Chain A
Amino acid sequence: MILKVDHVSVAYGKLRAVWDVSLSVDSGEIVTLIGANGAGKTSLLNSISGLIPARKGAVYLGEQNIVGQKAHRLAKLGVGYVTEGRGIFSSLSVLDNLSLGAYSRHNGWTTLLGDVSWFMRRKDIRDRVDYVYGLFPRLAQRQRQKAGSLSGGEQQMLAIGRCLMASPKVMLLDEPSLGLAPNVVMEIFGLLKRLRAEGMAILLVEQDAAASLRIADRGYVIEMGRIVFEGTASYLINQDKVKQAYLGQVWRGDHQTPAQEEAES
């Protein structure tokens, strides 16, 4: 397992947000975490990525227990986090945003007159940027534009591309479908499948349970800070309680199961 969350609890003061949660993600796997608003999804991601400390439990990245480390350290170790609302820097250009994504790859020998290892760093950044532009050709066309001038879908692509700049070992995605048109969501989910095929470990947090269960291999359902269901995506889709609570009217049973879709593609 690339990422293993072991009995983690998160709390804000006395308010318990995440309670004794365990989950795991392996490379080449999309694992989805679904749940309603306020169920603790974002709190869990924030604590895995080191933005807020976990009260209890351990988080393993590979063999290493990373719990308690600060976010900027974890970025160096290979935890990529695409935050809710994308967190792109709207006043910076697309290229600057991407360059910042590679920040953790380099050491900061900044002198008063500029960077010492400027040349090597620039080449490395260019290589990574080319890779990201290969995934999102639309970003290449807009590389000089301010990131704030991009459409919502393009901003989400930029956020994912920026995360990939660091070549992380595991990617945490918080609601990448939020506020996007269905065809754009399909495009982004299609990319996640491609990353999975390249061996990326992806933890996908979603409110849109139907869409995320369709591309995920496995899933966890979180309610009031606790994991209440877990299993393969096809198992979760067929659970009556999951159907009622998260798939609702949208899920009429005429959608394809992930297995069928996999077989077609």
Chain B
Amino acid sequence: MVLALVRRRPKQLAIAALIVVLAIVPFLGNAYYTSVLIIIGINAMVAVGLCLLMGYTGQVSLGHAAFYGLGAYISAVLSRTYHVNPWLAMLAAVVATTAFAFAVGFPIFRLRGNYLAMATLGLGIILWILFREVDSITGGPSGLSGVPYLSIAGFNFSSDFRFYYLVWGFCIAIMVISESIVASRMGRAMRAVHGSESAAQSLGVNAAVVKVKVLALSAAYAAVAGSLFTYYLTFVSPQPFDFLFSVQLVVMAVVGGLASIWGAVFGAGAIRVLSEVLHPFGELDVVVFGLLLMVVMILTPQGLVRGIADLWHRFVSVRLAPTR
């Protein structure tokens, strides 16, 4: 019976297993695992948004760290400097970042392909420079410390244990929302824009609006993630929002298999774990990253998740084939 379940519902089973494992990890008592998984959850939210934008809608963004950073800074500045309630600050950060994405989306999506990549790259760099240089608001290169913790009615999300569940709660909510969007009319429109913009338009899809909406949604996800990141560290500085992080986000989405929500989460996990493992290599970890990305793209161009799923299917069909 178990085998039948494995054969028929591998995806659902894998998801259930993942949730169970995620729920158990903090109880292992290993603070390091918990903290790494918190960062993975935060990165995964951004990667899921990027996956909607790149994988489903086919629009490149090399500047997503900008939205992530904008969310982080708005939350930090409002809650620390202006003593706004951290939740309200987070809400404001999400609304403002989404509005910002709408505003830049219309001009930026007049561009396509390489030019779009360059423009988003430029956007990322401009915001990163602003984070560093507008000292009076952002605290410059040394950043802002003393950002308050998130709390609900006196319950502080100050320990890793508590924050872990908060982050993964948000992350799973984002994944569920994204899955339902992908399966909806909007999701079909997104994939149509990816396939052929002119064909999509002659079917009645307003491609420009679809692209901007998806950008805004992914910016909102990034702002949620950025805010949580700030409240987790109770500190914000420009360094995590640089160009390299934008590239890393793209790598996460690609490694996970661009058109897969769960893949993006898996990709975020794989890349984060990898960079922890590669820590001893110091500066050379970038080289190893590049090599790994090449190997993944050559061996499993559909991404790691699909590659593993294919292997699994082969295994299941050989070993678990029903006997006649």
Contact = CB atoms under 8 A, between A and B. Distances in A.
5 contacts: A71-B198, A75-B202, A79-B202, A89-B191, A108-B189
A83 B203 CA distance: 11
Interface stretch (A112-120, A183-191, A199-207, A226-234): A112-120
Interface centre among A71, A104, A110 (most CB of B within 10 A): A71
Contact of A110 (B184, B192, B198, B207): B184
A91 interface: yes
Interface string A101-125: 1011010101011110010010000
Contacts of A89: 191-192, 195-196, 199
A96 B200 CA distance: 13
Interface residues of A, number: 36
* Leading 6 A-B pairs by shortest Cβ distance: A104-B204, A87-B199, A75-B204, A89-B195, A71-B201, A81-B202
B78 to A, nearest CB: 23
Chain B contact residues, majority secondary structure: helix
A99 B192 CA distance: 11
A242 interface: no
Interface residues of B, number: 23
Given A96-B191, A108-B185, A110-B181, A72 B199 contact: no
Given A96-B191, A100-B188, A114-B184, A51 B203 contact: no
Interface of B: 177, 180-181, 184-186, 188-189, 191-192, 195-196, 198-207, 259
Given A91-B191, A91-B195, A113-B177, A104 B184 contact: no
B201 A72 contact: yes
Contacts of A4: none
B199 A121 contact: no
A218 interface: no
B205 A72 contact: yes
Given A51-B202, A100-B203, 20 more contacts: A51-B201, A71-B202, A72-B201, A72-B206, A83-B198, A83-B199, A87-B198, A89-B191, A89-B192, A89-B196, A91-B195, A92-B192, A96-B188, A100-B192, A100-B200, A103-B188, A103-B189, A112-B177, A114-B180, A166-B204
A212 to B, nearest CB: 21
Given A81-B202, A110-B186, A121-B185, A72 B195 contact: no
B45 to A, nearest CB: 14
B202 A106 contact: no
Contact of A51 (B185, B191, B192, B198): B198
B184 A101 contact: no
Contact of B188 (A72, A88, A92): A92
Contacts of A194: none
A121 B188 CA distance: 14
Interface centre among A88, A89, A115, A118 (most CB of B within 10 A): A89
A209 B30 CA distance: 75
Nearest to A122: B185
A193 interface: no
Contacts of A64: none
A70 B201 contact: yes
A76 interface: yes
Nearest to B196: A87
B184 A115 contact: yes
A103 B202 CA distance: 10
Contacts of B185: 99, 103, 106, 108, 110, 115, 121
